[in-house]
A and B are shown apart, each in its own frame.
Chain A
Amino acid sequence: MQSVDSHLFLIVGAALFSIGLAVVLLKRHAIVVLMGIELMLNAVNINLVAFSQYDPDRIQGQMLALFVMVVAAAESAVALAIVLQVYRHFRTAQLDELNELRQ
């Protein structure tokens, strides 16, 4: 089974990271910003896995990617709970309308 050139994985990872960064910077709905963060974490995981296939005995890259996934799941659960409370408090989830610390 012939494998793919690993530079291509790195380039796909770089493009996905840039798209995720653009989503975080451009969008103003809080949940879409969270989606951008997920995209960036996935791009980093692609890089880790691409390098990890040259280390079949210890697969350190894949283990780190596994822990990144679990932490990302925990992060998104807590972040969505916070977004839900913000929405209940301000009746909106658009980030540039949240400009008060207290109400």
Chain B
Amino acid sequence: MIQLAFYGFAALTLVSALAVLLTRNVMYAAFFLLLTLLGVAGLFVLASADFLAVAQIMIYVGGVLVLVIFGVMLTSKAGSGTNTDSQRPNQIPSPNRIGNSWVMALLVSGGVFVALYTLLARASFALLNQPVGWESTIRTVGRQLMTEYIVPFEIVGILLLAALVGATFLASNRLTR
């Protein structure tokens, strides 16, 4: 049952991430990103991180994705139907023109995946053979935030405030003449 749920969420995550890669429409990419983030939240639950799953849904789906959709809508030209075509790849400087940049980018990312996969298939982590229990992590997260991680907690609060004030200033109309 748990295995089935895991494979379901993993398939949801990977298929919609591939759809982000393959779709031509920026708006569709944003909605497939929503599905990917929901699948990652499900994986967090299956890895016994319930607080983090709820935080993932609230921060990413509720915050970041709304920002992304605002960005997509504000940067789309009205009237021209071709500018949502995002399929032409970035120009990657390739010396002596070995293939075009599609091939280069796919080689790089496929090579990273093959390298990581062989590394994980060969590695034997002693940690991963221990039994795990399932218990709610909310109490532990709260205790850790108030004791061991109090300094990073405050710093990240200041960082978030500074980033939001800076983003509001950057996006305002004052910078454009």
Interface residues of A (CB under 8 A from B): 1-12, 14-23, 25-32, 34-36, 38-39, 42, 45-46, 49-54, 56-59, 62-63, 65-67, 69-78, 80-85, 87-89, 91-96
Q: What count of chain B residues pass the 8 Å CB interface test?
A: 87
Interchain Cβ contacts under 8 Å between A and B, 19 examples: A8-B6, A11-B117, A12-B13, A19-B14, A21-B109, A31-B30, A32-B29, A32-B86, A34-B71, A35-B30, A39-B20, A39-B33, A45-B56, A62-B141, A63-B149, A71-B159, A80-B68, A84-B171, A96-B91
- Inter-chain contact total with CB atoms closer than 8 Å: 247
Contact B14 A66 (CB under 8 A): no
Is B75 touching A93 in the complex (CB atoms < 8 A)?
yes
Interface of A is mostly: helix
Tell me the smallest distance from the CB of B114 to a CB of chain A, in Å.
Answer: 9
Q: How far is the CA of A1 from the CA of B127 in the complex (A)?
A: 19
Q: Which residue of B lies closest to A35 (CB)?
A: B33
Digit string of B99-111 for contact with A (CB within 8 Å is 1, else 0)? 0001011101110
CB < 8 Å neighbour of A25 from B36, B44, B108, B135: B108
Binding site for A on B (CB under 8 A): 2-3, 6, 10, 13-14, 17-18, 20-21, 26, 29-30, 33, 36-37, 40, 43-44, 46-49, 51-52, 55-56, 59-60, 63-64, 67-68, 70-72, 74-75, 77, 83, 86-92, 102, 104-106, 108-110, 112-113, 116-117, 120, 125, 127-128, 130, 132-135, 137, 140-141, 144-145, 148-149, 152, 156, 159-160, 163-164, 166-168, 170-171, 175-176
Q: Which residue of chain B has its CB nearest to the CB of A51?
A: B127
Report the bound CA distance from A16 to B12 in whole Å. Answer: 11
Task: Give the nearest-CB partner of B29 in chain A.
Answer: A32
Also in contact, A12 and B116, with CB within 8 A (given A77-B167, A93-B75)? no
Q: Tell me if A74 and B43 are in contact (CB < 8 A).
A: no
